[in-house]
Amino acid sequence: MEKINNVAVIGSGTMGAGIAQVAVQHGFTTVLYDIEEDQVKQAKHSIFKRLDRLVEKGKISEDQRDSAKNLLFLTTNIEEVGQVDLVIEAAPEKIEIKHSIFEKLEAVCSSTAVLASNTSSLSITEISGRRDHPNRVAGLHFFNPAPLMPLVEVIKGMHTSEEVIETLRAFAVQLNKTPVFCKDTPGFIVNRVARPFYNEALRMAQDQVASVEQIDRIMRNIGGFKMGPFELQDLIGIDINYATTTTVYDSFSGESRFRPSSLQKQMVQGGRLGRKTEGGFYEYKPM
């Protein structure tokens, strides 16, 4: 398989924008796609703002920032991603949305393009199952915030070729990320391990064993975590975390250890999703 020179990111939410930023910072021409023009423009604004902050902090030079900005292109036309070497889908965690996107990608992309999903827990085999060329579909799961987190999970579906896996491994290394290889199992590695971290904290809060603030403080100060489980949910998005837990729970046929929290479900129903709604387990000032 040829070397990756240019990429497209499908979905300009928190993860999509973060992945696009990483790509342009490392010299990849990147097309950022979304169905909503206002959404993709907001993503561009956020990316440019973060790049400017990196210059202010002395992390990158002004030339590096300007070069990165010049590599970013926006579109609401899916056909404009057809010439890239790699597509990274970062749409909401709903399997029918994934199927619809990959169907469109297969129609517009070249036969040699790699089609990757940033899904955190859905089956790569299921995503690729309806495709004419499932061998070029794989998982490439970044972690939030993508510009900072060093780990990337590379997931091989039942039909994914070894060539595609090697291409994605090399791409992750070019982004200065650490790739880890995963089987196509619910939650992969990190999200499967992380379920007890969130779920037990939620149960403790719901049972009033300790407050949200106390649990976070203990996990930071005693456990050595950079963020407590509630702070981290607010950063990731409580809705995203809940969706991941639900997927893992369903995929393991309702094993009790993965059962979603009713408290977390209630937060989602109430629209308190974390930083992006200026309120989750904590309150936040407008950006």
Q: Is 45 an active-site residue?
A: no
Counting DSSP H helices and E strands in the chain, the numbers are 11, 8
- pLDDT value of position 285: 82
Q: Is 26 an active-site residue?
A: no
Residue that the structure tokens 């007890």 belong to: 196
Average pLDDT, the chain: 95
- pLDDT value of position 89: 98
Question: Measured between alpha carbons, how far apart are the two ends of the chain, in Å?
Answer: 42
Amino acid at 45: H
Q: Is 141 an active-site residue?
A: yes
- pLDDT value of position 286: 72
- pLDDT value of position 287: 60
pLDDT in tens, 18-56: 999 999 999 999 999 999 999 999 999 999 999 999 999
- pLDDT value of position 152: 98
Task: Indicate the pTM of the whole model.
Answer: 0.90
Q: How many CA atoms lie within 13 A of 216 on its CB side?
A: 14
What's the rounded Cα separation, in Å, for the pair 83 and 100?
19
Largest CA distance in the chain: 56
pLDDT tens for the chain, residues 1 to 287:
568 999 999 999 999 999 999 999 999 999 999 999 999 999 999 999 999 999 999 999 999 999 999 999 999 999 999 999 999 999 998 999 999 999 999 999 998 999 999 999 999 999 999 999 999 999 999 998 899 999 999 999 999 999 999 999 999 999 999 999 999 999 999 999 999 999 999 999 999 999 999 999 999 999 999 999 999 999 989 999 999 999 999 999 999 999 999 999 999 999 999 998 989 999 998 76
The whole-angstrom distance between residue 261's C-alpha and the CA centroid of its chain comes to: 22
- pLDDT value of position 227: 93
Spot the catalytic one: 93, 106, 153, 231.
153
CATH classification code of 6-183: 3.40.50.720
pLDDT in tens, 229-250: 999 999 989 999 999 999 999 9
Spot the catalytic one: 12, 118, 123, 191.
191
Q: Is 255 an active-site residue?
A: no
Domain boundaries, the chain: 6-183, 190-277
Spot the catalytic one: 12, 118, 120, 123.
120
Interaxial angle between packed helices 190-206 and 229-236, expressed in degrees from 0 to 180 and rounded to the nearest 10 = 120
Spot the catalytic one: 123, 141, 231, 241.
141
> Is the fold of 6-183 the same as that of 190-277?
no
Amino acid at 68: A
Overall fold of domain 190-277: N-(1-d-carboxylethyl)-l-norvaline Dehydrogenase; domain 2 (1.10.1040)
